[in-house]
Amino acid sequence: MIACFDIGGSAIKGAAARSVSDIAMIGSRPTPLHDFDAFAGVLEALMAEGGVPARSPVSVSIAGVVDPADGRIKIANIPCLDGRPLAHDLSQKLGRAVTVANDADCFALAEAIEGAGRGHRIVFGVILGTGVGGGLVIEGKPLQGAGGYAGEWGHGPVAATLAGDPPVEIPRFSCGCGLKGCVDAVGGARGLEKLHRHLHGLEQSSKEIVEGFESGEEKASRTVDVLIDVLASPLALVVNVVGADIVPVGGGLSNSRLLIERLDRAVRARILRKTTVPLVVQAQCRIEPGLIGAAILGFREDADHAAA
């Protein structure tokens, strides 16, 4: 058995995995942000509640970037973890082997092995949630780049400044990474709300905008049209660069099948490989893909240790 955790700035979700296809939720707790001992204590308490045996390995999916060179994590929204060699420190604290991976990488891996990417050699997993994220899996293995950065197509000052039909000027919105004009700043749920405000002077939630788009409401449809134009070109470039077979999409905006279908058509119209087969698709691991990806990595690590 492996204990799996999906960790964000708001909550820690735990599960006990007997196999990749047998994952039982344990529970959820608020994330301690400023006390590492309290953070580790939450993991211990969840494992005890779930009946996870002593010394069973732990595998963590987390909203941070892990440097493969030294294991240190960069995670702005959980200060007590930022800069730590997290796998090492948790292993010392919990007395268990610990694996730590980025949540977008875990999502992409879950889709590659258990979701829409099954049977595909190169899977680029996209997250359209609060912002824009991604992870790349090649032949079943997540790609780890220098510093732990790979698949981060949401960052870099490449977002269109003219988009939609007819085109409209788009400001170079400031991004949390410190740059201006990133896809992340205009392409996720918060970006959709910024676009709607910019285009129509309306304050609406992303959920309300998407619902309006799906019902054919004119202003919401215009906003989503601009959003898709903003997203499609950089995503098409990623597909051309990495040669992705399939692009599963998760996150809140992926719940709109119509939006994903429109994005798929726009991306396929921009890539070099001409295909009538859908490329950008809804993710199939709809419930806690981070836990599934963490389980896959955890079982692989456990098998490697056993073989060594």
Q: Does one domain contain both 51 and 65? A: yes
Q: Please work out, in degrees rounded to the nearest 5, the angle formed at the alpha carbon of residue 104 by the alpha carbons of 131 and 12.
A: 90
Contact 111, 142 (CB under 8 A): no
Tokens, residue 113: 């092995």
Domain count, the chain: 2
Q: Determine, yes or no, domain membership for 246.
A: yes
* One domain, residues 262 and 139: yes
Residue 248 near residue 119, CB atoms below 8 Å: no
Q: Is 274 exposed, middle or buried (0-12, 13-18, 19+ CB in 10 A)?
A: exposed
Q: What is the CATH number of the domain that holds 89?
A: 3.30.420.40
- Other C-beta atoms lying within 10 Å of the C-beta of residue 69: 10
| Helix (H), strand (E) at residue 177 | none
Same domain, 255 and 172: yes
Are 144 and 235 within one domain?
yes
Backbone CA torsion sign across 283, 284, 287, 293: negative
Cβ neighbors of 31 (< 8 A, separation 6 or more) are: 7, 8, 9, 10, 11, 12, 39, 42, 78
User: Residue 295's closest CA among 125, 287, 31?
Assistant: 287
Residue 182 lies in a domain: yes
In tens digits, the chain (308 residues) has pLDDT values of 999 999 999 999 999 999 998 999 999 999 999 999 999 999 999 999 999 998 899 999 999 999 999 999 999 899 999 999 999 999 999 999 999 999 999 999 999 999 999 999 999 999 999 999 999 999 999 998 999 999 999 999 999 999 999 999 999 999 988 999 999 999 999 999 999 999 999 999 999 999 999 999 999 999 999 999 999 999 999 999 999 999 999 999 999 999 999 999 999 999 999 999 999 999 999 778 999 999 999 999 888 877 76
82 part of a folded domain:
yes
Indicate whether 166 belongs to any domain: yes
Q: Residues 207, 250: one domain?
A: yes
Distance between CA atoms of residues 19 and 217, nearest Å: 45
* Same-domain check for residues 167 and 299: no
Q: What range does the domain containing 34 cover?
A: 2-103+288-307
Is residue 38 located within the same domain as residue 146? no
